[in-house]
Amino acid sequence: MKKAPALVIMAAGMGSRFGGLKQIAPVDEYGNIIVDFSIYDAKKAGFEKVIFIIKEENAQIFKEVIGDRVSKFIDVEYVFQDINNIPEEFEVPEGRVKPWGTGHAILSCIDTVDRPFAIVNADDFYGREAFELMYDFLMNTDDGDKYNYAMIGYMIENTLTENGYVSRGVCRTDENDYLTNIVECVHIERADGRIINTDDDGTVTEIPEGTTISMNLWGLRPSIFAELKSRFTEFLKNEAVLNPMKSEFYIPKVMGELIDEKKADIKVLTTKERWFGVTYAEDKPELMKAIRALKDEGRYPEKVWED
């Protein structure tokens, strides 16, 4: 019998633009944090296990703030993302402190995850429907001649903040809603009534409303680990050499390569849920207001986790 999927939560990054460890900042008067709501929604959808990817030095505070609390309701494990966890033939560039990116974070789970799994960011609010769609996909599909993965697609206008710019994966799909291309855009914002992205060279591109984007909610299987392992080695040989301080090994880039090589089909499961997050400190009041409204609608209990 197929194991119920796990939820893998990427929480190793410090919130530089927010200022501090934003993943554990309370978002309601009861001390609940964003990830409480993701775990609650995932459990309601049918997920049976949560795996936190964190920095080892943050383990104790994560257990105190969230892990020990939710472990009464769902199985919890921890995986450490360590910049020094690289193949032995490589060395961390002198002076580098930046983590190796989302691909490396997921690769950290290679010895822990033994079932289909979804990955999410710890500091993003995804909405109940997103987890329901992903659970149904993971339980009712398998790898075939190709890897069979999925991504939750959001509409760009539902994922912006009024307080600055955001990074998003801008997606293209075919007539059957399979991902054909994903481009990481790192400076998306509203300006003069438009949604625009500004590239590093100053090139400005308008992104139409209704455009499908990724919020890093992917549905994967253990088959991904062999691909991540080999591609991370290639990344260290090439990209990391060219930009040793800042280059990152991104999950969206790996997904794009697998599509181009015809090794994977990635189904885009579209949701109309609105994203909330705390990219900036100024986002927090709006997030708290949204959480309050969802509780008033009855989507969440007041204290989220009640014995």
Distance CA 269, CA 132 (A): 10
pLDDT value at residue 16 = 41
The pLDDT > 70 percentage for the chain reads 96
Q: Model confidence over 47-72: pLDDT tens digits? A: 999 999 998 888 888 888 888 889 99
In the predicted structure, residue 34 carries a pLDDT above the cut 60: yes
- Whether the CB-CB separation of 48 and 4 falls below 8 Å is answered with yes
pLDDT value at residue 152 = 98
Residue 178, SS3? strand
Poorest-pLDDT segment among 22-26, 62-66, 125-129, 151-155? 22-26
Give the helix/strand (H/E) hosting 104: helix 102-107
pLDDT value at residue 57 = 85
- Whether the CB-CB separation of 217 and 189 falls below 8 Å is answered with no
In the predicted structure, residue 149 carries a pLDDT above the cut 50: yes
- Output DSSP code: residue 158: G
Question: What DSSP string describes 229-258?
Answer: HHHHHHHHHTHHHHSTTT----HHHHHHHH
Residue 275, SS3? coil
More confident residue, 61 or 45: 45
- Whether the CB-CB separation of 46 and 3 falls below 8 Å is answered with no
pLDDT value at residue 21 = 55
Alpha helices, H only, 170-250: 224-237, 239-242
Task: Give the length of the chain.
Answer: 307
Of the pLDDT bands very low, low, confident and very high (cuts 50, 70, 90), residue 157 is very high
pLDDT value at residue 147 = 98
Q: 93 is written with which tokens?
A: 């560039």
Across 280-287, average pLDDT: 86
Distance CA 15, CA 48 (A): 28
Across 202-229, average pLDDT: 96
More confident residue, 306 or 23: 306
| Domains of the chain: residue spans and CATH | 6-296 (3.90.550.10)
Distance CA 91, CA 84 (A): 8
pLDDT value at residue 18 = 36
Residue with tokens 């992917």: 218
Strands (E), the chain: 6-10, 49-54, 75-80, 117-121, 124-125, 147-155, 166-173, 179-191, 194-198, 204-206, 212-220, 264-270, 276-277
In the predicted structure, residue 268 carries a pLDDT above the cut 50: yes
Q: 4 is written with which tokens?
A: 């119920």
Q: Model confidence over 78-89: pLDDT tens digits? A: 999 999 999 999
Q: Could you give the dihedral angle defined by the CA atoms of residues 60, 63, 68 and 69, in that order, rounded to the nearest 10 degrees?
A: 130
pTM (predicted TM-score): 0.91
Q: Is 19 left (phi over 0), alpha (psi -120 to 50) or beta?
A: left
Residue 179's CB is within 10 A of a number of other CB atoms, namely 26
